Amino acid sequence: MASMMQPQIILLKEGTDTSQGKAQLVSNINACTAVGDVVRTTLGPRGMDKLIHDDKGSVTISNDGATIMKLLDIVHPAAKILVDIAKSQDSEVGDGTTTVVLLAAEFLKEAKPFIEDGVHSQNLIRSYRTASTLAIEKVKALAVSIEGKSVEEKRGLLAKCAATTLSSKLISGEKEFFATMVVNAVMAIGDDDRLNLIGIKKVPGGNMRDSFLVDGVAFKKTFSYAGFEQQPKKFLNPKILLLNIELELKSEKENAEIRLSDPSQYQSIVDAEWNIIYDKLDKCVDSGAKVVLSRLAIGDLATQYFADRDIFCAGRVAEEDLNRVAAAAGGTIQTSVNNIIDEVLGTCEIFEEKQVGGERFNIFSGCPSGRTATIVLRGGADQFIEEAERSLHDAIMIVRRAVKNSTVVPGGGAIDMEISKYLRQHSRTIAGKSQLFINSYAKALEVIPRQLCDNAGFDATDVLNKLRQKHAMQSGEGANYGVDINTGGIADSFANFVWEPAVVKINAINAATEAACLILSVDETVKNPKSESAQGDAAGAMGRGRGGGRGRGMRRR
């Protein structure tokens, strides 16, 4: 009897929510599948866009997986893992963000019936990891290198990769135009890895075809003072001085105190202030520079002074733009005007101020180091230009990756179908439960071509049967066949130049498998009670502390 009356052991704080076991695992899988369903329709050239309206009233129209995942503000702890893999895919490769979320959700969906039937999740995880390794090896085996080609051939091949990325974006109608622009921009920065050397400036108005690439730096005209219009707006081979100092007349601080015995001394103090600024301006002029840019303000006195001497100046230039001018023109940003030598000055072939739509742009072209480029985007609505910028970012990342890892694989679901076939064949050589799990992994990979068909309005079952038949051919000639978005049938993706860098697919399979395994390995969720009670306790403790531990009416003894 005594043993039956043992007190209950309380480990966790009262109000702590714990859920564990099979039900918890299935709940996590359902949450991730729901996230996958949100972005499912955005996949491929015929993918739909999402309009996201946040609490601040700003509207975003996008079909970029990473952008949608960021803006969704997901609160489910397991589903947040999918947001993280979309972000990592975006920062590492740039494209394939929808693919990675979709694959992870599909792997979990295929695992769900096994979990419900009582299979231990560790068995699934082991098989999924094996399947992932085999899939990545197969991608590497199927990849085709574009190394060793001439520069012109390589440009053409890279443009094909960029066009494949852009075909699923809002600007797909002009993908050839933008693909060439992106390849030129990436080639301009050469081996440099810094993405900020390619600037994208947005100017509302005009149409997409009015967008242009500047082989150098372009930025919007900064705030200017009187006298600015008298300055020359075009120079050939000018010297460029880059500063990080203010060229303004500075009065004394309010709390400065100067005691004078003679009123005439006051004038000498005022003159000293003017002499300081004039001394700075003289040194800038003596350096021989014809274009003066500063990150801080250039005041009205300095603007007029430079105008009188046929020098162009711009103050409050964004730090990013100033750094890009320094990289392109070969100058160094100065924090003092003393001892300005020729080595710290930059130069370019042509500097001019140009009207673009309703904005005026300062454009530096023909820079000697040439390690920078600027794309000026035009378009109707602001949301449209924002989405165009995100699309170009993806294309730039893809081209950079293709330059570094110069292997490509066929797109349009062709590579997914081939890996799926390979894993199905491999699974039959395995005895035991693992055969079923690897087979389900192979089936999950078919989600890519199936979703491409669904989004384009084709009969997915019919197209997938044709693809399975083509990929099952012993000769291996069907390995490059994928979904033909234009006709609703199947076609050789490689021959149609639907290419993507192998690194995109490798990264997507890796990240999606890791995320699926991570979610399958969680069998308990512990949620701490709301912090309101904790805040209440803290407030009570503070109250007791202030009162020194005595009640209000208690008499002192």
Same domain (yes/no): 318, 338 = yes
- 394 a catalytic residue: yes
Same domain (yes/no): 185, 309 = no
The predicted model gives 204-230 an average pLDDT of 81
pLDDT at 514: 92
**Both tokens assigned to 329:** 């023109």
Within 119-238, strands assigned E span: 144-145, 198-204, 212-214, 216-220, 234-236
Same domain (yes/no): 109, 188 = no
Same domain (yes/no): 332, 447 = no
Q: Is the pLDDT of residue 541 over 60?
A: no
* Percent of the chain topping pLDDT 90: 11
| Cβ atoms of residues 219 and 363 within 8 Å | no
pLDDT at 472: 85
- For residue 41, what is the domain's CATH number? 1.10.560.10
pLDDT at 531: 52
Same domain (yes/no): 420, 279 = no
Residue written as token pair 């389900």: 440
The predicted model gives 207-231 an average pLDDT of 81
Q: Which candidate in 97, 222, 303, 347 is catalytic?
A: 97
d(Cα 330, Cα 325) in Å, to the nearest integer? 8
Same domain (yes/no): 418, 459 = yes
| Segment 86-139, tens digit of pLDDT | 888 888 887 788 899 999 999 999 999 998 888 888 999 999 999 999 999 999
Domain count, the chain: 3
Q: How far is CA 555 from each of CA 125, 550, 552, rounded to the nearest angstrom?
A: 69, 9, 9
Same domain (yes/no): 273, 207 = no
Nearest to 220 by CA among 305, 344, 333, 320: 320
Domain interval for residue 385:
151-215+378-405
| Segment 267-281, tens digit of pLDDT | 887 787 788 888 888
- 374 a catalytic residue: no
d(Cα 378, Cα 355) in Å, to the nearest integer? 13
Domain end among 342, 369, 396? 369
Cα-Cα end-to-end distance for the chain: 51
The reply to whether 547 falls in a domain is no
- 64 a catalytic residue: yes
Q: DSSP label at 8? A: P
- For residue 231, what is the domain's CATH number? 3.50.7.10
pLDDT at 106: 92
pLDDT at 557: 43
Same domain (yes/no): 242, 345 = yes
| Segment 281-325, tens digit of pLDDT | 888 888 888 888 888 888 888 888 888 888 888 888 888 888 888
d(Cα 262, Cα 268) in Å, to the nearest integer? 11
pLDDT at 423: 92
* Residue, of 56 and 21, whose pLDDT is higher: 56
CB count, 10 Å around CB of 86?
28
d(Cα 383, Cα 506) in Å, to the nearest integer? 32
The reply to whether 342 falls in a domain is yes
Q: Is the pLDDT of residue 440 over 90?
A: yes
Q: Is the pLDDT of residue 32 over 80?
A: yes
Give the global pTM. 0.75
Same domain (yes/no): 395, 427 = no
- 461 a catalytic residue: no
Beta bridge partners, 373, equal 198
Contacts of residues 392-395 at CB distance under 8 Å and 24 or more positions apart, as own/partner, are 392/171, 392/178, 392/182, 392/200, 393/94, 393/200, 394/64, 394/94, 394/95, 394/165, 394/166, 394/169, 395/94, 395/95, 395/162, 395/165, 395/166, 395/178, 395/179, 395/182
Q: Which candidate in 42, 64, 164, 454 is catalytic?
A: 64
Q: Which candidate in 215, 394, 416, 484 is catalytic?
A: 394
The predicted model gives 140-144 an average pLDDT of 87
Q: Which candidate in 42, 67, 98, 513 is catalytic?
A: 98
Same domain (yes/no): 77, 140 = yes
* Percent of the chain topping pLDDT 70: 89
